[in-house]
Every structure is written in C-alpha cells, then in structure tokens.
Amino acid sequence: MAFIDRSCSSRDIIVRVMKYSTSYIIAPAGYDAYYCAGDCVYSPAANVTYHAVVQGLLNLRTPDKIPKPCCSPSKLSRYQVLYSTDNITVVLKNYKEMVVEACDCL
C-alpha cells in the first residue's frame, strides 16, 4: 500500500488556454496553473499562520461552529500570453497571480 500525502500542498491542474479563449492565442497552448488542496494539521514543522493555529484549536472544541483552516495559495506568480486581436495586432500580456507557487494553511 502506497502512502498518500494529504497535507496542504499544490496539485497539478492543466489549463488548455486555446479551449477557453475568444481571441487567437499564439502561445502558449496551455499551462499548469496548480491549485491548493490538502489537510491543515498543525505540527511544529507545518507552515501555518498563528491565526490558522488558533482557528484549528477552536475547531477541535466546536467543529460545528468553527471550520478547519483552509489550504490556500500563499504565493502566486504571473503568466504571459501572446495573442492576436485581429490579423495585424499581436499583444504580449502579463496576467498577475495566475500560477500557484506555494500553499499554506490560512
């Protein structure tokens, strides 16, 4: 039986840019945007905020009222797309906060 790590971390999610575009995308055809998922369990080695620690402790006492901390993006990076708006104009556009670089329990 293989060990499956269910701790808060980034996971692959491939976005096929051309599939969702109304403009003519020249490059790239797609990219890995990543997403955050996993359990937020406190340990001394865990990268969690103090707020997440407090929320986790409160969740242990009143799970029906206080939710567990959430695994969320803590660092995002930009993504560049080269596209054409017509047969003449080519645009290189930077989209902020499009790729998950790190996840933490928030």
* pLDDT tens per residue, range 19-66: 655 568 888 888 999 999 998 876 666 667 888 888 989 999 999 999
- Element spanning 58, H or E: helix 50-61
More confident residue, 11 or 1: 11
- Class of 9-39+71-105 in CATH: mainly beta
- Element spanning 68, H or E: none
**pLDDT, position 45:** 60
* pLDDT tens per residue, range 85-105: 877 889 999 999 999 999 988
* 3 pLDDT tier (thresholds 50, 70, 90): very low
CA angle 26, 24, 99 (to 5 degrees): 65
pTM above the 0.85 mark? no
Give the 3-state DSSP-derived string for 8-56, with helices as H, strands as E and coil as C: CEEECCEEEHHHHCCCEEEECCEEECCEEECECCCCCCCCECHHHHHHH
Whether residue 4 has pLDDT greater than 60: no
- When the pLDDT of each residue in the chain is averaged and rounded to a whole number, the result is 85
Q: Is 105 within 8 Å of 52 (Cβ atoms)? A: yes
**pLDDT, position 22:** 59
Q: Which of 82, 84, 87, 66 is nearest to 27 (CA)?
A: 82
**pLDDT, position 83:** 85
